[in-house]
Structure 1
Amino acid sequence: MASIGYARVSTVEQNVDLQHAALRNAGCKRIFMDHGVSGTRAKRPELDKMLEHLRDGDEVVVWKLDRLGRNTRSLLALIDDLEGRGVHFRSLTEGITTTGAMGKAMLTVMSAFAQLERDQLVERTTAGMAAAEANGRKAGRREVTMGDWKVKRAHELKAQGLKPSDIGKLIGASRATVYRYLGLGAD
């Protein structure tokens, strides 16, 4: 039996080191890691690779339940598929394993609470955005503007053949802002 780890962070700015260390300490020799991939997405490249790699008798280990899936239905379906293939599951933070009946029951309860937490977060976010709008404020990330001289300089640098990421570094703007002000499609 091999313990195979899976770690995931939703944004590229987040760090996977804590999960990686915990999985190594739990005995995982191989760890698959998705960076910048939401748990709500159906396609997670490293998760797909891990699923192909698994063999009968292996154990999938995650740091926390929500790293594997964000909603109860998909999480339970994935774990049911693993069990059908003879692969066990263990979540370190929640202390859940599917090697016994109690573990399977706790997994169902814990994944339901994880779904509840996610649903409440969505409700609070929606309510906050509605309240902001009702008070005349625009919710969400503020729009970044560049001064006229930066826009002019960006066009000059583009004419010289520089890439938007390099232009952004030179004028102190993000690549996305440079794309927007130069009227380019994001790549």
Structure 2
Amino acid sequence: MARIGYARDSNSDQNLQTQIDKLKAEGCEVVRSEKVSGASRDGRNELATIIEFLRSGDELVVTRLDRLGRNTRDVLNIVHEVEQKRAFLTILDPLVSTRGEMGHPVLTVLDMVAQMERRFIKERQRDGIEKAKAEGVYKGGKRRLDHAKVKAMHSEGHGPAAIAKALGCSRMQVCRVLQA
């Protein structure tokens, strides 16, 4: 029976080390981590690997419920998959585990609250953007790709794949810039 930790952050600006340290301090022999959104299970390869290799009696440990996911249906599906393996899920803050009888109802309520919080954050962000636009302050998001550089490279005869490789982006991003 193993305690397996899972740490997740949404973007590269966040630091996983605090989560990893807490999981190791809780006795997790293995800690898998990834930087990917928790809004869905898409691209969450480390989590999929953990679930695939869980054995009967193992325990999946996360520091907070929102590290497991931000969508109630996804979290409930993860809990179900863990249980299908006859394993357990433990959240450290607040301390909740599927080992006890009250684990499921508490997890469900906590996850619903986390999903509502995500919606509220998005609404406040949208409201802030609308206010900034009305005041003429909003300039939009920061461009991640130099459009002029893409067009210049294309006019020099480079194809979308070569431009993407040179600039460290996807070919689709290059194609969108060229079509605009």
TM-score (norm 1): 0.74
Where does structure 1 lack aligned partners over 5 or more consecutive residues? 159-163, 169-174
The one-letter code sitting in structure 2 at the alignment partner of 1:63 is T
Task: Letter of the 2:39 partner, please give it.
Answer: T
2:79 maps to 79
CA distance in 1, matches of 2:123, 2:92: 28
Equivalent-residue separation in structure 1 for 2:28 and 2:61 (angstroms): 8
**Residue equivalent to 1:141:** 141
Determine the structure 1 residue equivalent to 2:41.
Answer: 42
| 8 Å Cα contact 2:40/2:71 also seen in 1 | no
Tell me, in whole angstroms, the C-alpha distance in 2 between the residues paired with 1:39 and 1:139. Answer: 27
SS at match of 2:41: coil
**Aligned partners of 2:59 and 2:88 also within 8 Å:** yes
Residue of structure 2 equivalent to 1:132: 132
Q: Is the 8 A contact 2:72 2:111 kept in 1?
A: yes
* Equivalent position SS for 1:4: strand
List alignment gaps of at least 5 residues for structure 2.
157-162
Q: The residue matched to 2:102 in structure 1 has which SS?
A: helix
Counterpart residue number, 1:95: 95
Contact kept in structure 1, 2:72 and 2:115, CA below 8 Å:
yes
Q: 1:143 to 1:3 in 2, by over 3 A?
A: closer
- The amino acid across from 1:12 in the alignment is S
Instruction: Provide, for residues 134-177 of structure 1, a one-character-per-residue CA deviation record: whole Å limited to 9, x for no partner.
Output: 22232543459x9xxxx8xx98xx9xxxxx9xx99xxxxxx78x
Alpha-carbon displacement from aligned partner over 1:30-89 (angstroms, at most 9, x marks no partner): 011112x11113221111111111111111000110111111121112112211221100
SS at match of 2:86: coil
Structure 2 match to 1:121: 121
1:90 deviates by 0.2
RMSD over aligned Cα atoms: 2.9
TM-score, normalised to structure 2, is 0.77
Count of equivalent residues: 163
1:103–1:41 CA distance, 2 compared to 1 (3 A): closer
Check whether the contact 2:5–2:61 (CA below 8 A) recurs between aligned residues. yes
Measure the CA separation in 2 of the matches of 1:76 and 1:120.
21
Q: How far, CA to CA, are the matches of 1:91 and 1:57 in structure 2?
A: 16
